[in-house]
């Protein structure tokens, strides 16, 4: 067997995103023990940096050993017990997955359905909370990775408070890329992943639980159904007692610390502006090529853009040509959107002008080979104009 060699790629799909070279270098740092005093300092720094990224003072803010889906499962299995009632917004694949976990917890599910590519209607959420009668929680996806929809959270927080429910928010494709303000939005529990806007390898799932969620966890009548994800034990390792639970992924925690340091260096406001700018450039370029964006403008996610596969284009052939000839990865649709949309990520380190311009040129070339005729250079010109305006205005 030969030495591992993988091709160079530009990751502009729904995740993972490209990893900053500084993060990759840090992963080569020598290991120490997971109870070594030097490593415990790293844990404290990671928690502090995560609080800044989530914009929260929540004590219980830490990364779970696992991918973003582990974060989803962690929050739900710790807060739900058999017989609880949970309202879940389902307007994409990841809302659907939350609903599945709710059922597996033995809780009673009240699903609020919305068309994929559209945000949840607060009035429909309010109706479901009323029907649930004393719901334990309301769970929604802030940034729906399967569709590119950004869900407004503050109106739903008000509804959850009125119903006496905890508000749980999926921030997997928003943390570090667009505004996530847990305290200001009165979010009780949230989770994310490291491989999207934080531009860290996949393998950790930041979670944050506020006071009300922590109290609900400690009032449980039954054990958490997952031993590995049981926060009542995990918090004792991350807290002052440092009780051993499982061996922490040391190199991944080095990487997350560096990725969060990069977020801190850039500043949240500047980082959010960068993601909005590059999203606008992608949208302008795609529309100039005659392509149709999938999500209406008010709900578009600035870290991931969904565009309809044009009539006459071959979904798989197009994505494979981008990958093989230009080294660019974009994503296809999931579930009912398979073969119908492309998902283009502008997240973290991948969110750069050169990537946007290269994608426009490559996509135009591939589509023209399929007999589709976007105006030559139209996508590049439109995207470049947005990017230049952004540089001029800061």
All CATH 3.40.640.10 domain ranges in the chain, comma separated: 20-265
Mean pLDDT of the chain: 96
Structure confidence at residue 375 as a pLDDT band (50, 70, 90): confident
Structure confidence at residue 392 as a pLDDT band (50, 70, 90): low
**pLDDT (mean) for 325-333:** 98
pLDDT in the model for residue 394: 56
How far, in Å, CA of 32 to CA of 34, rounded? 6
How far, in Å, CA of 82 to CA of 295, rounded? 36
CATH 3.40.640.10 fits 20-265, yes or no: yes
Please say if the pLDDT value at position 329 is more than 90: yes
- Residue (of 380, 362, 357) closest to 326 by Cα position: 362
pLDDT in the model for residue 240: 81
CATH fold label, 268-393: 3.90.1150
Q: Burial letters for 124-150: b for 16+ Cβ neighbours within 10 Å, e otherwise?
A: ebbebbeebeebbbbbbbbbbbbbbbb
Q: CB neighbours of 112 closer than 8 A, spacing ≥ 6? A: 87, 88, 89, 90, 120, 121, 124, 125, 128
127-186 pLDDT, tens digit each: 999 999 999 999 999 999 999 999 999 999 999 999 999 999 999 999 999 999 999 999
Task: Using alpha carbons only, give the angle 64, 68, 71 rounded to the nearest 5 degrees.
Answer: 45
At CB < 8 A and 24+ separation, what contacts does 157-163 make? 157/185, 157/186, 157/187, 158/186, 159/122, 159/125, 159/126, 159/129, 160/129, 160/186, 160/188, 161/186, 162/129, 163/129, 163/130, 163/132, 163/135, 163/138
| H or E stretch covering 306 | strand 304-308
45-102 pLDDT, tens digit each: 999 999 999 999 999 999 999 999 999 999 999 999 999 999 999 999 999 999 999 9
**pLDDT (mean) for 27-53:** 95
How far, in Å, CA of 104 to CA of 87, rounded? 14
Q: Name 170's bridge partners.
A: 141, 191
**pLDDT (mean) for 8-19:** 97
Q: Is 8 exposed, middle or buried (0-12, 13-18, 19+ CB in 10 A)?
A: exposed
pLDDT in the model for residue 67: 95
User: What is the DSSP pairing of strand 60-65 with strand 189-191?
Assistant: unpaired
pLDDT in the model for residue 244: 84
pLDDT in the model for residue 388: 95
Q: What are phi and psi of 121, to 5 degrees?
A: -85, 120
More confident residue, 390 or 182: 182
Q: What are phi and psi of 43, to 5 degrees?
A: -60, -45
Q: CB neighbours of 206 closer than 8 A, spacing ≥ 6? A: 50, 53, 54, 61, 62, 63, 64, 71, 175, 191, 192, 193, 194, 256
How far, in Å, CA of 332 to CA of 302, rounded? 18
Q: 3-class SS at 333?
A: coil
**pLDDT (mean) for 21-45:** 95
Task: Give the pair of three-digit tokens for residue 89.
Answer: 């917004």
344-371 pLDDT, tens digit each: 999 999 999 999 999 999 999 999 999 9
- The pTM (predicted TM-score) of the whole model is 0.96
285-300 pLDDT, tens digit each: 999 999 999 999 999 9
How far, in Å, CA of 252 to CA of 198, rounded? 13
Strand order in the sheet with 137-141: 60-65, 204-209, 189-191, 166-170, 137-141, 85-90, 108-113
- By 3-state DSSP, what share of the chain in percent is helix, strand and coil, each rounded to 5? 45, 15, 40
Structure confidence at residue 307 as a pLDDT band (50, 70, 90): very high
How far, in Å, CA of 102 to CA of 105, rounded? 5
CA atoms within 13 A on the CB side of 79: 33
Please say if the pLDDT value at position 393 is more than 90: no
DSSP 87-152: EEEESSHHHHHHHHHHHHTTPEEEEEE--TTSPPPHHHHHHHHHHHSS-SEEEEESEETTTTEE--
Q: Name 60's bridge partners.
A: 209
């Amino acid at each position: 067997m030969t030495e591992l060699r993988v091709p160079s790629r530009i990751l502009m799909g729904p995740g993972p995103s490209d990893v900053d070279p500084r993060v990759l270098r840090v992963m080569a740092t020598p290991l120490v023990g997971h109870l070594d005093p030097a490593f415990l300092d790293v844990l404290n720094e990671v928690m502090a940096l995560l609080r800044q990224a989530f914009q929260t003072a929540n004590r219980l803010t830490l990364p779970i050993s696992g991918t973003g889906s582990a974060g989803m499962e962690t929050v739900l299995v710790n807060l739900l017990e058999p017989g609880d009632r949970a309202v879940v917004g389902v307007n994409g694949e990841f809302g659907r997955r939350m609903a599945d976990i709710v059922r597996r917890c033995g809780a009673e599910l009240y699903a609020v359905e919305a068309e994929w590519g559209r945000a949840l209607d607060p009035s429909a959420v309010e109706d479901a909370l009323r029907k649930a009668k004393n719901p334990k929680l309301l769970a929604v996806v802030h940034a729906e990775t399967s569709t590119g929809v950004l869900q407004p959270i503050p109106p739903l927080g008000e509804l959850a408070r009125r119903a006496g429910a905890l508000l749980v928010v999926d921030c997997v494709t928003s943390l570090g890329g667009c505004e996530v303000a847990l305290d200001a939005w009165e979010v009780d529990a949230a989770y994310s992943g490291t491989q999207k806007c934080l531009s860290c390898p996949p393998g950790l799932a930041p979670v944050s639980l506020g006071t009300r969620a922590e109290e609900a966890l400690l009032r449980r009548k039954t054990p958490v159904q997952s031993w590995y994800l049981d926060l009542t034990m995990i918090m004792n390792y991350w807290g002052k007692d440092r009780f051993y639970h499982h061996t922490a992924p040391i190199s991944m925690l080095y990487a997350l610390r560096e990725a969060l340091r990069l977020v801190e260096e850039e500043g949240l406001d500047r980082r959010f502006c960068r993601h909005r700018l590059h999203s606008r450039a992608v949208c302008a370029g795609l529309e100039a090529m005659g392509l149709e964006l999938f999500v209406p403008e008010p709900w578009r996610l600035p870290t991931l853009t969904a565009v309809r596969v044009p009539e006459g284009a071959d979904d798989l052939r197009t994505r494979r040509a981008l990958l093989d000839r230009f080294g660019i990865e974009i994503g296809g649709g999931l579930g009912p959107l398979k073969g119908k949309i492309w998902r283009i990520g502008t997240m973290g380190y991948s969110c750069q002008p050169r990537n946007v311009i290269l994608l426009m040129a490559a996509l135009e070339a591939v589509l023209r080979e399929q007999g589709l005729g976007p105006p030559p250079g139209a996508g590049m010109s439109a995207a470049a104009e947005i990017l230049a305006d952004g540089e001029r205005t800061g």
